[in-house]
Amino acid sequence: MNNTFTQADLNISLAMPEWSIDALNELPSHLPTLEERMAAVIDFSRKNFLNNTGGPFAAGVFERDTGKVVVIGVNRVMEYGCSSAHAEIMALSMAQKMLGTYDLGADGLPAHELVVNWRPCAMCFGAVLWSGVRALTIAGEGPEVENITGFDEGPVTEDWRGELQRRGIALNEDVLRDEAIAAYEEFAASQSFVYNARLGDE
């Protein structure tokens, strides 16, 4: 034996913050309109940085037609030292765990929608494609978030709308755009720490 890996090394475990349990349980069981769903997501993004539990990003999985709340995830990068612990990865993975499938669009399931407080970053855009959601609802897209917050969103393919469409994922844009931007400005004004990969100088 040359190495000493144990089972404890060989796993990933990422949990939501404690405040989110009550916050989720206090939500209505259904949020019928896109605006209500986005308002909840923006509220979770604010609670996340105000509670010092992660960056100003949240993502909710809902049943598309009824608005049933499946789960809302928040960014957990700093808490876990895990650069993949973005809100979308948290939300999609928790929803899939609850439903027992990697495919939120599987036969026999109601159609699912992901609601995010900005266009997903390069990584999370891919995660949306693989998740099986039938709809993506975003507060906006464009350089505003990078400019306000300093986070690098990465290179999403130019024809991102086409990539969604070709995979049967409907896109709803500009839902509560101003409210989302206001929350990012609140984050920036709070002088919270902005992580980015490769803080080192080399």
Which parts of 26-85 interact with a copy of itself (CB under 8 A)? 26-29, 69, 71, 77-78, 80-85
What minimum distance in Å lies between the beta carbon of 110 and a copy of itself?
Answer: 10
Question: CA 41, 65, 86 angle in degrees (round to 5)?
Answer: 30
Pairing of strands 58-63, 69-74: antiparallel
Q: Is 4 or 189 the residue whose CB approaches a copy of itself more closely?
A: 4
Q: Is 106 or 182 the residue whose CB approaches a copy of itself more closely?
A: 106
Q: Which residues 139-168 are close enough to bind a copy of itself by CB under 8 A?
A: 152, 154-160, 163, 167-168
Q: Which residue blocks in 27-68 are alpha helix, DSSP H?
A: 34-50
Show the site string, 120-139: x = touches a copy of itself by CB under 8 A, - = not. -xxxxxxx-xxxx-x-----
Size of the site for a copy of itself (CB under 8 A): 82
Instruction: Kindly list the strands in the beta sheet with 135-138, ordered across the sheet, starting from the edge strand earlier in the chain.
Output: 69-74, 58-63, 112-116, 135-138, 170-172
Q: Is 15 or 182 the residue whose CB approaches a copy of itself more closely?
A: 15
Show the site string, 6-25: x = touches a copy of itself by CB under 8 A, - = not. xx-xxxxxxxx---xx--xx
Gyration radius from the chain CA atoms: 17
What minimum distance in Å lies between the beta carbon of 173 and a copy of itself?
Answer: 18
What minimum distance in Å lies between the beta carbon of 6 and a copy of itself?
Answer: 7
What is residue 52's DSSP assignment? Answer: T
Pairing of strands 170-172, 135-138: parallel
What is residue 68's DSSP assignment? Answer: B
Q: Is 11 or 191 the residue whose CB approaches a copy of itself more closely?
A: 11
Element (H, E) at 166: helix 160-166
Q: Is 189 or 199 the residue whose CB approaches a copy of itself more closely?
A: 199
